[in-house]
Amino acid sequence: MTDRPPEGAAFKGATQRSRRAPAVIATAALAVLAVALLTKVSSPVPPTPSATATRLPTPVPAATSSDVPRFVPVIAEPPDPPERNPAASPHPTSPAISVDAGATQLVPAGQTTIRIGVTLPNGWQRTGAAVVVKPSIDAAVGLSISAWSLRHVNVYPCRWSGEAFADEGLMGFARGEAQALSSWWGQDPLMPPNSNAPIAPIATKPQPTTLAGYPAWSLEVLVPSNLDLADCDGGQLVLWDTATGQVRTSVPGELQRLWVVDANGEPIVIDAGSALGPSAVETAELDAVIDSVVIEP
C-alpha cells in the first residue's frame, strides 16, 4: 500500500364489541365526533408523500445533528464496468523505511491540516507520511494504518483509469464519504445482482460510532482473495485518490476497517488494514494501534 449497501411497521388495531346500551353508545359517538371535528379544524393536514420511481440510498441514522446533510444525493446506477485498459501505467510504490517504536505522527494524504498521532510497537515501517505498515512473515497481507483526506472514490477500483467516481455530492462530509465507500462497490443492493462483483471489493454498510472522541462512521471493505489483479488497469486495484495525487491501492485478501471521522466538519479517513482472519496476536496489535489514535486539528 502506498500513500497515496425496516420497512414501516404495519399496526393492526383490534376493537371489542361494546356491551353498553345504545343511548350510551350514541352519546359517546357524538362526543368523539365533536373532538375529531375540532382537531381537524385546529391541526394542519400532513402532506401526502409523493411516490417516485427513483431508487435512493438506504438511509443511515446520523451520528450528530451537524452531520445531517440538507439533501440526500441520488445515486444513479453506474454503467457497466469499462474494459480493462492494458495501456494504463501503474502508480509508483514507495519503499518501506523502519520506524522506531513509540509515538509517531501520520500526515493524512491530501489537502488538510489535520494530523494523526499513533503509538506503534516494534517492527513497523513507514511507506510515506500517511502510511505505516508491518509486513507479515507468513502471508501476503500484513498490518497497516493510514490517514487520508479524499478527493475521489473509484466506482470501479479495478478499472480505475476510466475515472468513474462516486457522486461528488457525497464527498466533503463524513456520512457521505462513508456511503460512497460502501454503496458503490461489490454487492450493492442498489445495483443489479453481482454486476460488479468479479472486479470489486465488498463493503458493509456504514454505522455511526466515534474514534478518538470524534463522531465517525465505520465500515469494512474486503478485497476477495480470488480477485486477479491481472484483470485490473495497470495490475492495480485503486480504491481512492487525493487532491495531492496519492492513491490507496489494495491486494486480494485484504480487509480494511475504515473510520470516516468528522474532525470539526472535515472528513478524515482512518484506514486499518490486515489479512482476512488475522492471528490473535496480529488482531491485538492492530487493535492497540487503533486505540492509540489521537486526532490533532
pLDDT score recorded for residue 2: 55
- pLDDT recorded at residue 92: 95
The pTM (predicted TM-score) of the whole model is: 0.73
Q: Name the domain count of the chain.
A: 1
Q: Please say if the pLDDT value at position 48 is more than 90.
A: no
Q: State the Cα–Cα distance between residues 185 and 202, nearest whole angstrom.
A: 6
Q: What is the DSSP string of 50-96?
A: PP-SS--PPP---SSGGG--SS----PPP-PPPPP-TTPPPPP----
Q: What is the mean pLDDT of residues 273-283?
A: 94
Kindly state whether residue 148 falls inside one of the protein's structural domains: yes
| C-alpha span between 248 and 270 (Å, rounded) | 12
Q: State the Cα torsion 136-142-147-149 to the nearest 10°.
A: 130
Domain residue limits at 144:
96-296
In this prediction, residue 118 carries a pLDDT of: 98
DSSP element (H, E) containing 123: none
Pseudo-torsion of CA 198, 200, 205, 208, nearest 10°?
160
Q: Is residue 41 part of a domain?
A: no
- Residue 270 falls within a domain, yes or no? yes
Is position 2 within any domain? no
Instruction: Report if residue 271 sits inside a domain.
Output: yes
Asked, for residue 272, whether it belongs to a domain, the answer is: yes
Task: Decide if 84 is inside a domain.
Answer: no
Say if 183 falls within a structural domain: yes
